[in-house]
Amino acid sequence: VLSATGRHRERPAAMASEEPDAGEPDVHSLIAAAGDAAGIAEVQAGGGQVAAAEAAARAVVKAAEEHGVLLAELHEVIGLSAARSAMQAVSVEDPTLTISEIARCLSPDSMAQLKGETLRRTDRSDRITPNELKKIFRQIGLDLNDDAWPQVFQELERDSTGRISYTEFVDALERAEEECRQCGIAAAMAAGTTLGQSALQAGHGLREAADCAAGAALRAAAEFGMVPADAAALGGRAASKLASEQSLDRVQVADAAAEAAGIHAMRAAVEADLTLEQVADEAAIAASAAAEEAGSTAQHVAEVSARAAGVAAGELAAEAGNTAMKSAEIAAKAATKSAAASGLPPYQAVEPTATAAARSATRAALNGGHPYLIVAEITRQLNSQLVENLKEVHQNQPDRVAVGELK
């Protein structure tokens, strides 16, 4: 429906005009189809946004199990399927479907510009023709496909004059924008909690499950045009739900959820070409939302936010080719800034600042190709049970192993 510049995300799949692949569908397409079918069936049975998104998410997980696909590979499939199903529930009784699609594509800046035009038109007639509306859109860098304009006017035209109320058009966009936001929340929470719980049930660790939950939720939320921090915050909320659903330790869940949310926010912010400071801020916001959802204290929320900000800034610096020392310095500054903004006393900011600096220095060193630090990084991620498993796997085997065998 819409092509635009300066948006936070790509055009939704439902509006893409790519030619379908004539070959056999891949496994992920089959899994997505199973999710979409379950979502549609739920809508036809009278289910709303939440029920449709949850049905789609469950079907995706079930189909993935049948096809032998790893849960960690399902972020995109489950997120998109939940999003499509939630939107399907909305569109059943939506008399302004085209306007809803437009609203789903608009960035906050674009919406603000359209509202600003409403104020400028107060001294003139509020009635507007298709060509006039098209001109307004193009002036702010937006361009509707030609076949969408008649649909917009059909949905809003109250008489046969060929004109609609511009104010009414913007009001309809605002209503659709809020509807899309609620839809995005429903889809994100359904996709995230379903995948996270499935990961725990499959025997994955808490951090892996939190990463699955956050990744799936962020992908679903991003489909509705949410900015990185908001989308990742929903990912953190979904990961935090693992505490109540599985009766896990809330502090551990908060740490895992905040870390996952911060990392995914960092990735999304980088894709949106934000500055280093903005990336750190987005990560801190997402981590804070995750910790709050898990019921953390104000102090703990401030600590995980500072850690997330520091890690995001430091790892971004490391990826940019900075030395270990410089990356650690950038991480420490970002963590300290976040801690100060949260009112965290300096002595309580030491741990998150040090953690962020250490992780960033390690990342920079690894990028520099230091082999012993790679071994150290592996060691840092192992726990005692995994070490015992490694010993048992290679009992009574030759001491020399090839790369393939080690993998």
Q: Cβ–Cβ contacts within 10 Å for residue 54, how many?
A: 24
| 58-78: average pLDDT | 92
Give tens-digit pLDDT for 296-344: 899 999 999 999 999 999 999 998 889 889 999 999 999 999 999 999 9
- Residues 370-381: tens digit of each pLDDT: 666 666 667 666
Residue 372's pLDDT is 64
Q: Helix/strand/coil (H, E, C) string of the chain?
A: CEEECCCCCCCCHHHCCCCCCCCCCCHHHHHHHHHHHHHHHHHHCCCCHHHHHHHHHHHHHHHHHHHCCCHHHCHHHHHHHHHHHHHHHHHCCCCCHHHHHHHHHCCHHHHHHHHHHHHHCCCCCCEECHHHHHHHHHHCCEEECCCHHHHHHHHHCCCCCCCEEHHHHHHHHHHHHHHHHHHHHHHHHHHHHHHHHHHHHCCCCHHHHHHHHHHHHHHHHHCCCCCHHHHHHHHHHHHHHHHHHHCCCHHHHHHHHHHHHHHHHHHHHHHCCCCHHHHHHHHHHHHHHHHHHCCCCHHHHHHHHHHHHHHHHHHHHHHCCCCHHHHHHHHHHHHHHHHHHCCCCHHHHHHHHHHHHHHHHHHHHHHCCCHHHHHHHHHHHCCHHHHHHHHHHCCCCCCCCCHHHHC
Q: Looking at the predicted structure, is the pLDDT value of residue 16 above 50? A: no
Position 230 pLDDT exceeds 50: yes
pLDDT band, residue 124 (cuts 50/70/90): low
Q: For residues 315 and 374, give the distance between their C-alpha atoms in angstroms, rounded to a whole number.
A: 16
Rounded Cα distance, 357 and 330, in Å:
8
Q: Is the pLDDT of residue 20 over 70?
A: no
What mean pLDDT do residues 331-358 have?
A: 92
- The confidence score (pLDDT) of residue 314 equals 93
Average pLDDT taken over every residue of the chain: 81
pLDDT confidence of residue 5: 33
Report the pLDDT averaged over residues 130-143.
77
Q: Quick one: pLDDT band at residue 38, thresholds 50, 70, 90?
A: very high
pLDDT band (50, 70, 90) for residue 245 = low
pLDDT at 78: 95
- Which pLDDT score, from 0 to 100, does residue 95 have? 59
Residue 255 has pLDDT above 80, yes or no: yes
Instruction: Report the distance separating Cα 284 and Cα 356, nearest Å.
Output: 12
Q: What is the mean pLDDT of residues 166-176?
A: 79
| pTM of the complete model | 0.69
Instruction: Give 378-404 pLDDT, tens digit per residue.
Output: 766 676 777 777 777 777 777 787 877
